[in-house]
Amino acid sequence: MALIIAQSVAIAGALQRSLRGRAHALRPVVMVGAAGLTPAVLHEIDVNLKAHELIKIKLDNNDRDVRVRMLRKICAELGALLVQEIGKVGVLYRAQKNKPANAAHAARPKPPRVTKRGLQGHTPR
């Protein structure tokens, strides 16, 4: 819990809630097994963060302190932020460099509204 509180300073409260909501439906894309954090595992996490920017990883270790150290190491080496940790699953976020920070919520141009009068050929005075 201390790790989440320490890093939540870097993530605004509203952004963290939004990311937790987005991550709810995700499945873990990387699983850290008995071999621990190998360079190959770190590379896979990096590739998935580049592709998705928000991912879940599963840490297959029964010791909570070891899992917390693994998550800290991943975040430090890859420049990611820990959004949430529940049990053996961690949610990581790293903003994509070529994408604006708020692109998910960017306003899209709306098509013109079609009304009954518009369809009847009515012109305003």
Give the per-residue pLDDT at 106: 56
Q: Which domains does the chain carry?
A: 2-96 (3.30.110.60)
User: What integer pLDDT is reported at residue 99 of this predicted model?
Assistant: 66
DSSP letters of 91-114? EEE---TTS-TTGGGPPPPPPPP-
CA distance 57 to 64: 15
Mean pLDDT for all residues in the chain = 83
Q: What is the pTM of this model?
A: 0.69
Q: What angle do CA 102, 91, 13 make, to 5 degrees?
A: 50
pLDDT in tens, 68-123: 999 999 999 999 999 999 999 999 999 988 765 555 555 567 777 777 776 777 66
